[in-house]
C-alpha cells in the first residue's frame, strides 16, 4: 500500500477550463475568442520576424541569463537589468515566489476576486492561501493589513485587478508596503499595467522599498501569450533567490527573441494601448446602454454585470450560439458577471449587437 499524497488542498483546485477556442456547430472563422484578454491585433510584426529568425538555431539551448531581454526591458522601462528576472509567463514568477518564500505553516494573502494562480501556487508550495475581502470589487488595503500576521510571507495584488479591471492608487500601495510585517513580501502583479495611461506598474515602489516585487507579462499588450514570457522586478536579494530556484533554461530562445523585439517596438505598444482605451469605452458604454453596467476598467477587458447569475449564464449561452466566447467568472465569486476582452472594432460591435438581441 502506498500513501502518496499531494500538498493539502491541491485536490480541491478546479481544473482550468478557460482555454477553449472552438464552439460546437460554429464555423472556426465565425468564432470570436474574448475570454483570455489577448491582444486582438496580435504581436508587433518585428516580434514575429525575430521569432522566425530563430528557426535555424532550434537545436541550441537558449540563453540562461536572459541578458539581451533584460537589457531591452531595462532600457525601455528605465530599470536596472540586474534586478529583472524572466520567466515562462508571469505565472512562473508567481510560482517561483511561492516556492522560494512560502511553505507549510506560512500564509499567502490574495484578494477575494484575485487571479487564481496566487492561491494555486501557494497550495502547490504547501502554504496556506488566505483570501481577503474586497470593497465593492476594489482591493481593500486596510483589510489586507488586518489579515497579515506572523505567518504571512507573501501578499499578491493585481493592479489593475483581474477579473474586476479596477485599480488602487500609489498612496494605497505605499501604505500597504509600509504596513506589512517585515517578513512579508508585497507582489504587485502588473499584467495589465501597459493598458493604464502613465502607470509604471509599481516599479517606483520597488525602487523605493526592499519588500516589494513587480511582475509583468508579454501575454497581454505585447500579444505573445502563445510564447509564454513574463518578467519580474525586485530587490537584488529576491532576484538572487529566484535565480537559484528557477530552471536555467526556463524561457525558450524564440520567446526571448520575440519578447525583446516586442518591448523595443514602443510605437506599436502605444498604438495598441490607445486603441484599447477607445474600444474599451465603446464596449462599456454600449453595454451600459443595454442595461449591463461594469466597473470602470483600466485593463483590456470589462466585467459586465447582469441582474442575476441566471441571466449571466443565459447570456453566456446566447453569446456562444452567436460564436462569441467570453469568460464566466463564477469561480472568482462573481456568478452574475461575464468578463469580456476588448477585441477589435468589429468584435466590439458584434458583442454589443449580440447582447442587444439577448436583452
Ligand atoms: N496575472 C494576471 C492578473 C493575469 O490575468 C494573468 C493572465 N491571465 C497572469 C498574471 C499570467 O499571465 P502569463 O503567465 O501569461 O504571463
DSSP secondary structure letters along 249-268 = T-S-HHHHHHHHHHHH-HHH
Give me the pLDDT at residue 174, please: 97
Q: Which residue among 33, 34, 90 has the greatest number of ligand 1 atoms within 8 angstroms of its CB, and so is best to mutate?
A: 90
Residue given cell 522601462 in the structure block: 77
pLDDT at 1: 78
Q: Which atom of ligand 1 is nearest to the CA of 230?
A: 16
Cβ of residue 294 lying under 6 Å from some atom of ligand 1: no
Phi, psi of 85 (to 5 degrees): -125, 140
Work out the angle between the directed axes of helices 45-52 and 253-264 (0-180°, nearest 10).
Answer: 150
The ipTM estimated for the assembled molecules is 0.99
Instruction: Report which protein residue has its CA nearest ligand 1's atom 5.
Output: 162
CB of 96 closer than 6 angstroms to any ligand 1 atom: no
pLDDT of amino acid 193:
98
Q: Is any atom of ligand 1 closer than 6 Å to the C-beta of 116?
A: no
Run means of pLDDT, 10 residues per run, the chain, 359 residues: 92 88 92 97 98 97 98 98 98 98 98 95 98 94 98 98 95 97 98 97 97 98 98 98 98 98 98 98 98 96 97 97 96 94 98 96
pLDDT attached to residue 186: 98
CA of 192 to the centre of ligand 1 (A): 9
**156 within 8 A of 110, measured Cβ to Cβ:** yes
The Cα–Cα gap between 46 and 295 comes to 35
Residue nearest to atom 7 of ligand 1 (CA): 191
The response to whether residue 341 sits with its C-beta less than 6 Å from ligand 1 reads no
pLDDT of residue 224: 98
Classify the C-alpha dihedral 108-86-82-75 as positive or negative. Answer: negative
Residue 185: strand, helix, or coil: strand
Question: Residue 158 CA: which ligand 1 atom is closest?
Answer: 3
Taking the C-alpha atoms of residue 163 and residue 325, their distance in angstroms, rounded to an integer, is: 16
Q: Is 115 in the pocket of ligand 1 (CB under 6 A)?
A: yes
Name the closest-CA residue to atom 2, ligand 1: 191
- State which of 116, 192, 220 you would mutate to test the pocket of ligand 1, scoring each by most atoms of that ligand within 8 A of its C-beta: 220
pLDDT of residue 20: 86
**Helix or strand or coil: residue 88?**
coil
| Residue among 196, 217, 231, 232 whose CB has most ligand 1 atoms within 8 A, to mutate | 217
| Measured CA distances, 120 to 10, 115, 127 (Å) | 8, 10, 10
Contact partners, residue 40, CB within 8 Å, separation at least 6: 341, 342, 343, 344, 347
Closest-CA residue to 282 (of 192, 358, 344): 344
Task: Name the maximum alpha-carbon separation found in the chain.
Answer: 62
pTM exceeding 0.90:
yes
Phi, psi of 161 (to 5 degrees): -85, 150
Strand-strand pairing, 334-341 and 301-305: antiparallel
Cα of 191 vs centre of ligand 1, distance in Å, is: 6
Backbone angles phi, psi at 262, to 5 degrees: -65, -45
Q: Cell for 341? A: 476582452
pLDDT of res. 359 = 86
Q: For the range 165-169, what are the long-range contacts, defined as Cβ-Cβ under 8 Å and sequence gap of 24 or more?
A: 165/192, 165/294, 165/295, 165/296, 165/297, 165/298, 165/299, 165/301, 165/302, 165/303, 166/137, 166/138, 166/139, 166/295, 166/296, 166/297, 166/298, 167/138, 167/196, 167/298, 168/138, 168/139, 168/141
pLDDT of residue 331: 85
At residue 162, the pLDDT reads 95
**Residue 18, pLDDT score:** 78
User: Is the CB of residue 101 below 6 angstroms from any atom belonging to ligand 1?
Assistant: no
pLDDT computed for residue 254 by the predictor = 98
How many Cα atoms are found within 13 Å in the side-chain-facing hemisphere of 357? 11
219 lines ligand 1 (CB under 6 A): yes
Closest-lying ligand 1 atom to the alpha carbon of residue 192 = 3
Amino acid at each position: 500500500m502506498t500513501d502518496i499524497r499531494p500538498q493539502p488542498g491541491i485536490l480541491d483546485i478546479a481544473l482550468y477550463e478557460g482555454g477553449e477556442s472552438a464552439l460546437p456547430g460554429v464555423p472556426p472563422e465565425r468564432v470570436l475568442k474574448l475570454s483570455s484578454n489577448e491582444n486582438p491585433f496580435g504581436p508587433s510584426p518585428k516580434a514575429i520576424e525575430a521569432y522566425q529568425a530563430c528557426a535555424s538555431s532550434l537545436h541550441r539551448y537558449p540563453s540562461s541569463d536572459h541578458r539581451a531581454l533584460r537589457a531591452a526591458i531595462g532600457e525601455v522601462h528605465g530599470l536596472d537589468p540586474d534586478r529583472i528576472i524572466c520567466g515562462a509567463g508571469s505565472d512562473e514568477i508567481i510560482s517561483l515566489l511561492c516556492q522560494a518564500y512560502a511553505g507549510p505553516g506560512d500564509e499567502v494573502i490574495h484578494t477575494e476576486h484575485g487571479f487564481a494562480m496566487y492561491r494555486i501556487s501557494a497550495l502547490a508550495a504547501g502554504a496556506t492561501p488566505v483570501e481577503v475581502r474586497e470593497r465593492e470589487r476594489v482591493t481593500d488595503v486596510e483589510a489586507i493589513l488586518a489579515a497579515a500576521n506572523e505567518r504571512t510571507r507573501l501578499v499578491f495584488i493585481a493592479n489593475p485587478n483581474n477579473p474586476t479591471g479596477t485599480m488602487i492608487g500609489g498612496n494605497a500601495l505605499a501604505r500597504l508596503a509600509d504596513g506589512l510585517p517585515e517578513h512579508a513580501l508585497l507582489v504587485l502583479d502588473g499584467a495589465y499595467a501597459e493598458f493604464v495611461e502613465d502607470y509604471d506598474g509599481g516599479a517606483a515602489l520597488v525602487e523605493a522599498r526592499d519588500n516589494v516585487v513587480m511582475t509583468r507579462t508579454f501575454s497581454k499588450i505585447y500579444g505573445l501569450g502563445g510564447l509564454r514570457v513574463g518578467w519580474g522586478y525586485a530587490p537584488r536579494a529576491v532576484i538572487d533567490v529566484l535565480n537559484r530556484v528557477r530552471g536555467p533554461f526556463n524561457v525558450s530562445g524564440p520567446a526571448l527573441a520575440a519578447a525583446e523585439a516586442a518591448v523595443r517596438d514602443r510605437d506599436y505598444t502605444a498604438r495598441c494601448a490607445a486603441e484599447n482605451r477607445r474600444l474599451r469605452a465603446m464596449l462599456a458604454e454600449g453595454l451600459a446602454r443595454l442595461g449591463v453596467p461594469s466597473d470602470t476598467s483600466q485593463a483590456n477587458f470589462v466585467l459586465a454585470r447582469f441582474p442575476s447569475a441566471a441571466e449571466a449564464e443565459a447570456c453566456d449561452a446566447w453569446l456562444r450560439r452567436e460564436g462569441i466566447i467570453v469568460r464566466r467568472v463564477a469561480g472568482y465569486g462573481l456568478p452574475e458577471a461575464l468578463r469580456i476582452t476588448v477585441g477589435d472594432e468589429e468584435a466590439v460591435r458584434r458583442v454589443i449587437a449580440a447582447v442587444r438581441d439577448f436583452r
